[in-house]
Each structure stands twice: as structure tokens, then as C-alpha cells.
Structure 1
Amino acid sequence: MNADRAEICVVACAEAWRGSGEVLASPMGVIPTIGARLARLTFAPELLLTDGEALLMGDVPALGSASRVTEGWLPYRRHLALVAGGRRHVMMGASQLDRHGNQNISCIGDWKRPARQLLGVRGAPANTLNNPTSYWIPRHSPRVLVERVDMVSGVGYDRAAAAGPSATRFHRIVRVVTDLAVLDFETPDRTMRVRSLHPGVSADELRDATGFPLDVPDGVPRTRTPSAAELRLIREVVDPAGLRDREVRR
């Protein structure tokens, strides 16, 4: 069975939780949600998943279906305790993201008089400073991957370092998954690097879609494709309605 781009992105998101241990997976978006559930069904059975409200799920239902097994109760105050204690790995979106991992979901333009008002800062600072964070970007473009974000919502490596040990102690950006590539910050200066290119994506295509110079070394690996067993889980168990195709174009 051949995997399409959306299914490759699902597996790339799932891999962000590999080795996370018994933590709360908090995916934001369709592809990350499928990825978290795929990880739970395969290589990360210890992951905690919620129904998006106040319950920990003991099973892994299809998208849009209710959980039939309740593993625990997770009201808002306990959720915040998990965030503050580092027992959560969130995968957020980003309206803008720069090479240092600073994220903007608040506004476009000068914050005193923005051209576009977005979600607001919300919980991004606490997420990035207190527990592992990853990002999902369904449209990799120079408008999203920018030289400098218009406002910092999620804290990147440069700003965490400038703030000192209180900010860097638990700060870690694990992965950035886009519809073109997988990126991380495992460099000496903690700036973004290419971890893998999705099949069919060229180095020039990735560079052209990025708003800052991005080195794509020769021999950079391809993002792994899902196995036959993973494809079956994606297509028949987790997302039989094909909601993934609304987020990533074929």
C-alpha cells in the first residue's frame, strides 16, 4: 500500500512522541491527533490521551467517535498541574515560527495596531517553558516560517537563553512537522535544521518555501513512510472518514 502525504505527516507527528514515556499527549489539529493515537496503538502504549474535555481515554476511538473506556478524570486544575510539572507533550500550531523556535499565534503586524488579530497568546508561554513542545504546520510557506515573528507567544531557544536558567530548565522544542519536512533544533546554536524531507520534496522546494536561509545538507534522509500495519490503523481504525485529507492536500 502506498502512503500519501497526509499519512506520511501522521507518522512524522507520531514519531514526536516516541520515547516520551507516560506523559499526556496534547495534539492540536487533525494530523497530530491521528499521530498521537497511532503512537498509542503502536510504539507508545503508555501515552495518556484525553477526550478533549475532562476525561482520560482508556481506549483509542476513531476521530469523531466517543471513547467507551474511561481511564481517569482530568479536570482543568489537574491539567494545569500536568503542564506546570512537565508531564505533558503538546503539539501546537503556529501562524509564524522563526529559526529559533519562537512561535506567534497572536497577531500579524505591530502588536499595538495589528493588521490581523489571531488567537492570542493563550497558554503558549507556559507550554514552552514547562513541558516538551512540538509544532505542526500544515502549509509550509515563507509566511509561516519567517525570519522574525511579529509577536512571541511560544518561547524559542534564543529568548529562553536570554531569560536565564528559570526559563531554560524545562524548555525543549522536540520537533517541527510540516507538509514538506521534519525539522528540529539539534544544532550547537539551537537553530532550526532539516531532520528529513518528505518523499517527493526537493531541497530547493523546501528552501523556497522558507522565509529564512535553511541549510539542507546533501544526503538528508527522507521521512519514513508508514508500514502496512500503520496504514491500516490510520485508514481503518483512527481515521476511517479520511479527515486527514482536509488538512493536508493530496
Structure 2
Amino acid sequence: MSDATRAEVCAVACADAYRDDGEIIASAFGTVPAIGVRLARHTFSPDLVLSDGEATAMRGTWALGGPPDGEVEAWLPFNQIFTLVWHGKRHITMIPTQLDAYGNANISAIGDHAKPTVQLLGVRGAPGNSVYHPTSYWVPAHSTRVFVPAVDMVSGVGNDNARAAGPSAQKHHDLRYVITDLAVFDYEEGSGRLRLKSVHPGVSVDDVVAATGFDLVLPDAVPETRLPTADELDLIRTVIDPRGLRDLEVRG
């Protein structure tokens, strides 16, 4: 019987999102996704490229919140990032403020665009990220405030809008997974709608449905998200996140 916390289950789910990605830049926003990419690179996806947060790629596995501790693997100046992005050589995990059934994400503003009630980050790199290379999303607090019928502004491009924009937007458009503190989702082939892939231990399908503001694609059987192995738990607790920062992002 595993004693894994909800945050540790989420970290492993984030790691699994990068399984079999090969040699690609792994950009993960949020504490739990950052743990996930370190875990993936240390175990089943050793070719992932991780930045020190500045201009170098690093070998090794270092603690979250601490300075990079390892060997410099490559020089990654800012202007080269765009070349890699435009050729699909990155898989990013972003944190949406709103997300709809087709994976349209809003990180820009809440309310009417001409006069928003809340100003957020702006679209930043979300349009290019979602059109040019694999994109996943992390939601640390799953609720109907995040999972909405329609986003107030499209920052990250969803499957329906990519389809409507035509071949140039669809060619490299690749929405992968949505991981939340309740469940893991992917997208139904054909419709492009968000589909429930697994529920975390202690969470029911009904819990997820109640916390989502639109109809999900629900398979006949929904498995539980896998638990961390003993080795993965040890890596998370003693090497990657010994300070327990994961439990500040996901409680319970």
C-alpha cells in the first residue's frame, strides 16, 4: 500500500506526460510539473533537455528551489529558443486561468476584453507554444472557475480553433494532456474534446464532473492514476523536493 500524497501522484502524472518524448526541451511551469520533468529525465526519459533557468542546459538532477547542481550540457541563448520552438523541439506545461472543452486556454484577462475585470499575464508565448509544439496544462485547483464553457480570451489555441484556422495552424498543433489535482485528461480523437483519462486515488468520476463547467468525454471505464513506485517516491522526497514544496501547491 503506497503512502503517496496527492501531490506526489500529480507529480508522477506530470512526469508521465513526458514519457517517450525523446530529445526535446521540457519546459514545465508550476512546482509539481517541475518535479515531474526532473523525475522523468532521471528515470524513463533521459534525453529530455532541462534548462538552468538562464541560458544553459544541465545534466543531473537537482533539488527544486536550489541552484542547478550538475554538468553544463549545452548553451541555450534566448535567440536559439525560438528556432527550437518553431521546429517543435519543446513540450511545455502551462497553467491556464481558464480552459474550455477543446483546450482553448486563457492566461490574459477575465471579463470583457475591452474592459476586463481582472488583468492577468497577457497572452505571452501561449499562441506560438500551442501551435508550434506539444503543449500540456497543469491545474493545481480543479474547479468550474477554471474549466469553463467558453474562455474569456483565447491565449492558447484549442483543437477547434486550430481546425478552423486551417492547415498552417494544424500542422504542428499538438495538445497532449491536462493534469489537475483531481484527474488526468487527454483529448478525444476526432472531436478534439477533453476526455477523462484517469482519476486520482480517492477521487470519483462524479467529483470530476461536478468540478467541471462543461460536458467531458467519459469512457465506459475510467482507471485510477498510477501511484509512484518506491524508487520514484524516494527520488521526489530525498533528491528532487526534499523541502516538500509540492504540498504547498497541492494539499490533501
TM-score by length of 1: 0.98
Query: Structure 1 runs of 4+ off > 4 angstroms?
Result: none
Q: Aligned residue for 1:72?
A: 74
Would you say 1:53 and 2:30 are equivalent positions? no
Q: Aligned residue for 2:199?
A: 197
CA RMSD of aligned residues (A): 0.9
Q: Aligned residue for 1:181?
A: 183
TM-superposed CA distance for 1:219, in Å, is 2.2
Q: Aligned residue for 2:116?
A: 114
Structure 1 runs not aligned, ≥5 long:
none
Would you say 1:37 and 2:38 are equivalent positions? yes
TM-superposed CA distance for 1:144, in Å, is 0.1
Structure-1 separation of matches of 2:218 and 2:181: 16
Structure-2 separation of matches of 1:217 and 1:174: 17
TM-superposed CA distance for 1:204, in Å, is 1.2
SS in 1 for 2:216: coil
Structure-2 separation of matches of 1:245 and 1:62: 15
Structure-2 separation of matches of 1:17 and 1:174: 10
2:51 aligned partner, one-letter code: T
TM-superposed CA distance for 1:109, in Å, is 0.4
Match of 1:233 among 232, 235, 247: 235
TM-score by length of 2: 0.97
- Conserved? CA contact 1:187–1:193, under 8 Å: no
Q: Aligned residue for 2:90?
A: 88
2:57 aligned partner, one-letter code: L
2:21 aligned partner, one-letter code: S
TM-superposed CA distance for 1:203, in Å, is 1.2
TM-superposed CA distance for 1:215, in Å, is 4.0
Aligned length: 250
SS in 2 for 1:50: coil
- Conserved? CA contact 1:129–1:155, under 8 Å: yes
SS in 1 for 2:103: coil
Structure-2 separation of matches of 1:127 and 1:215: 25
